[in-house]
Amino acid sequence: MNQLKYILLFVLSIPVFSNAQDKSYTTLVSEYLEVNGSMGQYNYAYDELLKMLNGRFPETDANAQGWKFLKENKGKAVKEMISLLEPIYKNNFTEAEITKMLAFYKSGTGKQLVADRSKMNPAQKEKLNTFYNSEIGKKIIEKQPILGTEISKVSEGWSRELYETALSLLK
């Protein structure tokens, strides 16, 4: 009976450990997408959509609630991209690899790469080359076509859904 109790406890704890690992991976991917500039691009896209829509549907009493919703839910909409991108990264990179990628983008070289690649100094260019010649760098290059296609699909879907939602709120 005592053994059964321990087996049951072990089996019931598996989802907890699994969930904790997934949360850890999601947090890493989220942080990676933030430091590599991806989330900045989605924030920019959201802002540009609102600018475009403001030209077509200026705020009025009739659509004020729609505008309020769009402005207040930007963060939520942009964070939704993380949940769409996370499975793509999970299918292509291990947690250890994401950790290495994150460490690179947190470095001075990675920060300069995101800020303005053309202003990288010779030492930063050398570090960038070293990174891309490393095992993880080679894997990133190898996976680029797959990542580009998959990320493009989810980005297009996100943009389309966002646009359709915005139109329905502002018409």
Domain containing 45 equals: 15-170
**Residue 9 resides in a domain:** no
Give Cα 93 to chain centroid, integer Å. 14
- How is residue 122 written in tokens? 């010779």
In a domain, residue 124? The reply is yes
Whether residue 154 is contained in a domain is answered as yes
Which segments in the chain show pLDDT lower than 50?
A: 1-21
pLDDT at 23: 63
pLDDT at 22: 57
pLDDT of the residue at 171: 85
- 1 inside domain: no
What's the mean per-residue pLDDT of the chain? 88
| Half-sphere exposure for 88 (CA within 13 Å, toward CB) | 21
In a domain, 40, yes or no: yes
